[in-house]
């Protein structure tokens, strides 16, 4: 019973801490535009430095999706099904989800490590001593950058995946270009794209929030920084999967 009680208290403390950080970041939001360079730095770090891995991951994801669609469709469905499958799967699910997981693995860990190191070396205390709000200075720019960058990376991911599927379908499976792209356009609905972008907005917020929360709650020196980094990545990935279902359930009825 004592073990269960401790776990319940830990969970409540965790949830309360996350919501407190959300509230503090909201009330600190207006002042951040006095320091736009903080946002541009994070946009470069989160976006440009994540671009190459997102592009390569998406190209091969598109290839795999196209191949699986061809494997399932042969002798049963027309080849136009390949392009339709790649476009639908990427825009609804694989584009935002895989982009979110890739960026979470890279960005959440980096944010938690950076802020966690500042925490254990008392640099955050120094910011407060200089009358600098650490939430406004460290958390808000990363959240804004996550909200901006994830939709952009998701669009890049979807385009690269469709091109990857096209390369495999055309040069590997003998599907005509016109057939593939007719399938991409077939059965397209704007909500397919908008729903995926809404997921990416949610994922960007979660990735930045988890990195900042675990970084700010780091304790115990270098070992604590390592633990915070691991927890940030795991928490971000688990929440991405949970909110992927929630957003899908709300949007794709």
The tens digit of pLDDT for each residue in 222-238 reads 788 888 999 999 999 99
Q: Which residues touch 29 (CB under 8 Å, ≥6 apart)?
A: 140
Extract the tokens encoding 244. Answer: 């992927």
Q: Dihedral through CA 234, CA 204, CA 135, CA 230, nearest 10?
A: 10
- pLDDT band, very low/low/confident/very high, at 202 (cuts 50, 70, 90): very high
Classify burial at 4, counting beta carbons within 10 Å of its beta carbon; exposed 0-12, middle 13-18, buried 19 or more. Answer: exposed
Nearest partner of 157 among 204, 94, 67, 92, judged by Cα: 94
Instruction: Tell me: pLDDT of 32 over 90.
Output: no
Q: What is the distance between the alpha carbons of residues 229 and 224, in angstroms, rounded to a whole number?
A: 9
Q: What is the distance between the alpha carbons of residues 168 and 83, in angstroms, rounded to a whole number?
A: 11
Across the chain, which distance is largest between two alpha carbons, in Å? 71
Packed helices 95-103 and 140-167: angle between N→C axes, nearest 10 degrees = 130
pTM as predicted: 0.90
As for how many domains the chain has, the answer is 1
First to last CA, the chain: 42
Mean pLDDT value across the chain: 87
Give the residue, 132 or 214, on which the prediction is more confident. 214
Could you list the residue range(s) of the whole structural domain that residue 105 is in? 2-251
- pLDDT band, very low/low/confident/very high, at 252 (cuts 50, 70, 90): confident
Residue holding tokens 């392009």? 83
Side-chain half-sphere exposure of 23, counting CA atoms within 13 A = 6
The answer to whether residues 100 and 150 touch, using CB atoms and an 8 Å cutoff, is yes
The pLDDT tens digits for 62-120 are 999 999 888 887 777 787 888 888 888 888 888 899 999 999 988 999 999 999 988 88
Residue range 208-221: average pLDDT?
89
Indicate the range of 1-10, 38-47, 136-145, 160-169 predicted with least confidence.
Answer: 1-10
Q: What is the distance between the alpha carbons of residues 89 and 196, in angstroms, rounded to a whole number?
A: 10
Nearest partner of 54 among 166, 194, 150, 184, judged by Cα: 150
Nearest partner of 64 among 156, 161, 155, 157, judged by Cα: 161
How many percent of the chain have pLDDT more than 90?
Answer: 37
> Distances in Å between the alpha carbon of 67 and those of 64, 71, 178?
5, 6, 17
Q: What is the distance between the alpha carbons of residues 3 and 26, in angstroms, rounded to a whole number?
A: 35
């Amino acid at each position: 019973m004592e073990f269960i009680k401790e776990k319940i208290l830990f969970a409540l403390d965790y949830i309360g801490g996350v919501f407190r950080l959300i509230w503090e970041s909201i009330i600190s939001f207006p002042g951040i535009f006095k320091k736009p360079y903080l946002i541009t730095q994070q946009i470069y770090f989160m976006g440009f430095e994540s671009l190459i891995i997102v592009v390569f991951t998406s190209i091969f994801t598109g290839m795999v999706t196209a191949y699986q669609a061809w494997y399932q469709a042969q002798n049963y469905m027309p080849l136009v099904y390949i392009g339709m499958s790649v476009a639908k799967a990427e825009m609804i699910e694989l584009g935002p989800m895989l982009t979110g997981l890739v960026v979470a693995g890279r960005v959440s860990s980096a944010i938690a490590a950076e802020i966690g190191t500042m925490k254990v070396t008392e640099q955050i205390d120094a910011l407060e001593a200089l009358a600098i709000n650490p939430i406004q200075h460290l958390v808000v720019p990363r959240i804004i950058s996550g909200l901006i960058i994830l939709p952009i990376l998701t669009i890049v991911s979807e385009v690269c995946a469709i091109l990857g599927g096209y390369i495999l379908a055309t040069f590997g499976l003998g599907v005509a270009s016109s057939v593939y792209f007719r399938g991409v356009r077939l059965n397209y609905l704007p909500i397919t794209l908008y729903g995926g972008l809404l997921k990416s907005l949610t994922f960007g917020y979660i990735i930045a929030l988890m990195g900042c929360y675990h970084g700010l709650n780091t304790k115990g020196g270098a070992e604590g920084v390592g633990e915070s980094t691991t927890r940030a990545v795991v928490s971000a990935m688990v929440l991405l999967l949970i909110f992927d279902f929630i957003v899908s359930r709300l949007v794709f009825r």
